[in-house]
Amino acid sequence: MSEKNSDQPELLLREVLNETILRDVLLFILLYLFMLAQNWDNLLLLLFPIITFCFALFFRIIGTNKHRLIDEQNLISYNPLGAEKKNADRLIFISLLELILLFWIGAESLYHPQLVDDFGFYFSLIYFMLYSFGFFWIFFGIWNNCKIITNLNGLENNESGYKKLLISELGFNKIKLISYLNILIFIAFNLINTILTILVFFGAEIGFPSNLPGSGIEDSQPLFLSYSVWIMLIAFPIASIFYLISIYRDVNSFSEIELKSKINSLPKEIQEKIINSLKAINQKLNKNSTEE
């Protein structure tokens, strides 16, 4: 029985569960269970690695589906959301670091509760900066990745002289806008969180207690967090979704007529393969072609 991926646009469960995704999920679940075994009763800090990991899975699944639908000759380098594999790897790395930090602070609260007051300040700065850095990182260098390119290397009947042909890319104005917003939001929120964390550390009542597994042992205090962490929890995923939608629309803002005008110097056979490959993965292009 053939194990070739189906040609349906919908991604089947057996096609999602490849070795890479299973490895990521199992490793994350294993570390998360180790952390939960410490008996955390406050769920706020536990949400951050889950959100980071969900974004990582999104990029993994998008990359899996893309390579399933694109022509086997790999004629198209289709990256309307940037380098999915690289983004997934980065976010997986960040989510695992978040779990390690949580496990460490949880263990310290159980076995060395008297030291939590000393470590809590640095944990609050590093942990939330790490979370925000993951979303900053995936949009760093978008000018290199958010493109649609035809790869003509190795084609026997390619007489056009082109090795690669640019079909579409993220507009320069959109690159500037997203890059500046990305840097501004990352710096602003981390600066605000740093200032508020310092004020909370010195006794200002602008924060709230967050129990650790060992809070109360030897009269140890909970971890005090600033209210800015709630904003950071929501702001960075929302901003990232806004960036992704904007990038996707910009890179895919071309018609079949524009596509044909860019590849008209290629042999007819190659043109058809390129158009069919893009139609398989670009529903808007396929819909417009069907209506015509």
Task: Work out the pLDDT band at 70, boundaries 50, 70, 90.
Answer: low
- Answer whether residue 277 shows pLDDT above 80: no
Give 147-159 pLDDT, tens digit per residue. 888 877 655 555 5
Inter-residue contact 82 to 58 (CB < 8 Å): no
Residues near 235 by Cβ (< 8 Å), separated by ≥ 6? Answer: 185, 189
Most confident listed range (20-29, 48-57, 63-72, 151-160): 48-57
**Region of residue 290 (left: phi > 0; alpha: psi -120 to 50; beta: else):** alpha
What is the b/e burial string over 236-269, where b = at least 16 CB atoms within 10 angstroms of the residue's CB?
Answer: beebbeebbeebeebbbebebeebeeebeebeee
Nearest-angstrom CA–CA distance, 219 and 246: 51
Q: What is the pLDDT of residue 188?
A: 96
Q: Tell me the one-letter amino acid at 209.
A: P
Q: What is the pLDDT of residue 103?
A: 94
The structure tokens listed for 222 are 């909970």
Ordered DSSP codes for 92-141: HHHHHHHHHHHHHHHHHHHH-GGGHHHHHHHHHHHHHHHHHHHHHHTTTT
Rounded mean pLDDT of the chain? Answer: 83
Give 196-250 pLDDT, tens digit per residue. 999 988 888 888 888 889 888 877 788 889 999 999 999 999 999 999 999 998 8
Give 166-178 pLDDT, tens digit per residue. 888 888 899 999 9
Q: What is the pLDDT of residue 112?
A: 85
- Answer whether residue 41 shows pLDDT above 50: yes
Inter-residue contact 32 to 99 (CB < 8 Å): yes
pTM recorded for the entire structure:
0.85
Q: What percent of the chain has pLDDT over 70?
A: 84
The structure tokens listed for 133 are 């850095």
Nearest-angstrom CA–CA distance, 184 and 130: 16
Average pLDDT over residues 103-131: 88
